[in-house]
Amino acid sequence: MARDVGGDQRFIPYLQRHEFEALVLAGLKNLERLLDASDDLAGLEALRAELGSTPPEDVNDGEETAPSKRLLRHIPSYQKTVHGPLVVEQAGVASLRALCPRFDGWVSTLESL
């Protein structure tokens, strides 16, 4: 992608594997703090059980199992534009980097400049 944009070394692309919600999955404990409905909290526990030890960046077996679809299926009140930014902000970059190696690699590249 960097080459296709003209090879400008200032352009360091990052494509989030699958979708933004992979970062939300990395911060699920922060999502719990934003939920209060019992069905949402039960859904969050079911989502955690479904994900098991799968790394957040690898959660996607198809169109219906994408991170956003899983969040919506398990947590009825989940709103990407409301909950997503709050969860990611509360999780913090260090936590996201620890759970998302591709994201960490991109941030490391930026730090090395």
CB atoms within 10 A of CB 86: 15
Does residue 87 sit within a domain? yes
The Cα 23–Cα 102 span in angstroms is 11
Does residue 45 sit within a domain? yes
Does residue 88 sit within a domain? yes
pLDDT confidence of residue 18? 67
Give the number of domains in the chain: 1
Give the ranges where the chain is alpha helix by DSSP (H): 21-26, 28-34, 38-51, 67-74, 80-91, 93-99, 101-111
Does residue 65 sit within a domain? yes
Which pTM value belongs to this model? 0.83
Does residue 11 sit within a domain? no
Per residue in 6-56, pLDDT (tens digit) is: 777 778 877 776 688 999 999 999 999 999 999 999 999 999 999 999 999
Does residue 55 sit within a domain? yes
The Cα 71–Cα 19 span in angstroms is 12
Does residue 81 sit within a domain? yes
100: region left, alpha or beta (phi > 0 left; psi from -120 to 50 alpha): beta
| Domain membership of residue 65 as a residue range | 21-101
Does residue 113 sit within a domain? no
pLDDT confidence of residue 100? 94
Per residue in 52-71, pLDDT (tens digit) is: 999 999 998 888 888 999 99
Whether 113 shows a pLDDT value over 90: the answer reads no
